[in-house]
């Protein structure tokens, strides 16, 4: 299905929910930080992830690389390949709706980044599975469980949570993160949400990107000892949100 909409004076040409490419506001070819010029077509396209081995392995790699610090804190550097396998396993054998929550950005046809969205009720629809956990020993398994518990994923009706956004290091600064956020907003609106939000570490410079996209700061979570610090290695995370018009 092809649709065309005018939004903030930029045309978004997109195809939805059938695993075909999505093109939103684009950075100039070559990339700029922040992108100064936006085109209605360009090097970045976004599509739903599939259950294919290539997509699952890419997601495992880009997510674990993007959040390497947290996974090393939860386990250790040697366990990172096992963490990638865990993420790829977690993408296997899910219902179609699950893949609609995962988007892959491609830059000139090469997989470059990903965004994972969550809506109300998703935790029940897509529960964690014991069989996805890799054999990394008791302490590391505890670390993984603590990490899962420390990151808030509760999600009230009418709100879309950006669970993860990450771009391969070699593609950063080219505007792909911005296009992924545009895509997330479009998906959230389509599903009737009035707000989109995310949690970000107070020290993560990605905050600037979210501010530029119109997100504002809401409540903070500060936990020392057995909570966020144990789980993620972060001392403080901030909720940023944007009202969708
Ligand atoms: C955050 C991220 C998805 C942005 O993707 P991107 O394609 O580089 O983003 P864009 O080119 O559209 O915008 C550039 C902005 O991204 C952010 N960014 C760039 N490199 C970053 C990095 N290594 N870590 C965190 N944020 C980064 C900055 O806000 C940058 O703007 P600035 O240069 O004015 O500070 C990407 O950098 C990434 O994967 N980081 C690691 C994972 C992460 O921290 N995710 C966010 C968790 S809430």
**Stretch 107-135: mean pLDDT, rounded?**
90
CB 107 within 8 A of CB 174: yes
Ligand 1, atom 12, lies closest to the CA of 175
Cα 173 to averaged position of ligand 1 atoms, centre (Å): 7
CA of 206 to the centre of ligand 1 (A): 5
Mean pLDDT of 48-62: 96
Q: Which domains does the chain have, with CATH numbers?
A: 2-198 (3.40.630.30)
Q: Measured in angstroms, how far is the CA atom of residue 93 from the centroid of ligand 1?
A: 31
Q: What is the pLDDT of residue 9?
A: 29
Q: What is the pLDDT of residues 130-158, one digit of tens each?
A: 888 777 778 778 777 777 777 666 688 99
Instruction: Give 201 or 102, the one with higher predicted confidence.
Output: 102
What is the residue with the minimal CA distance to atom 1 of ligand 1? 206
- Which residues have any ligand 1 atom within 6 Å of their CB? 33-34, 66, 165-167, 172-178, 198, 200, 204-206, 208-209
Instruction: Round to whole Å and give the CA distance between 96 and 85.
Output: 21
The pTM of this model reads 0.84
Going by the DSSP 8-state scheme, the letter that residue 32 receives in this structure is: -
pLDDT band at residue 176 using 50, 70 and 90 as cut-offs = very high
Q: Compute the 3-state secondary structure of the chain and give helix, strand, coil in percent, each to the nearest 5.
A: 35, 30, 35
The enclosing H or E element of 241 equals strand 236-243
- Atom number in ligand 1 closest to CA 168: 39
Q: Tell how far the Cα of 34 is from the centroid of ligand 1, in angstroms.
A: 10
Is residue 182 within 8 A of residue 25, CB to CB? The reply is yes
**Quick one: pLDDT band at residue 244, thresholds 50, 70, 90?**
very high
């Amino acid at each position: 299905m092809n649709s065309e909409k005018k939004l903030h004076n930029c045309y978004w040409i997109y195809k939805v929910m059938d695993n075909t490419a999505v093109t939103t506001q684009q950075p100039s070819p070559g990339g700029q930080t922040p992108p100064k010029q936006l085109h209605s077509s360009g090097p970045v396209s976004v599509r739903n992830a599939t259950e294919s081995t290539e997509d699952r392995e890419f997601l495992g790699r880009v997510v674990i690389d993007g959040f390497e610090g947290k996974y090393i804190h939860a386990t250790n550097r040697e366990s990172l390949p096992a963490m990638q396998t865990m993420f790829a396993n977690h993408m296997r054998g899910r219902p179609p709706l699950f893949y609609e929550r995962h988007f892959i950005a491609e830059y000139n046809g090469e997989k470059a980044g990903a965004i994972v969205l969550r809506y109300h009720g998703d935790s029940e629809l897509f529960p964690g599975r014991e069989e996805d956990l890799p054999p990394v020993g008791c302490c590391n398994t505890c670390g993984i469980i603590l990490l899962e518990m420390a990151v808030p994923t509760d999600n009230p009706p009418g709100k879309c949570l950006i669970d993860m956004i990450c771009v391969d290091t070699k593609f950063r600064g080219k505007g792909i993160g911005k296009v992924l956020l545009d895509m997330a907003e479009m998906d959230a609106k389509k599903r009737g949400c009035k707000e989109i939000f995310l949690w970000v570490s107070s020290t993560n410079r990605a905050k600037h990107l979210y501010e530029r996209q119109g997100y504002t700061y809401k409540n903070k979570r500060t936990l020392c000892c057995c909570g966020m610090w144990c789980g993620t290695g972060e001392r403080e995370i901030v909720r940023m949100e944007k009202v969708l018009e």
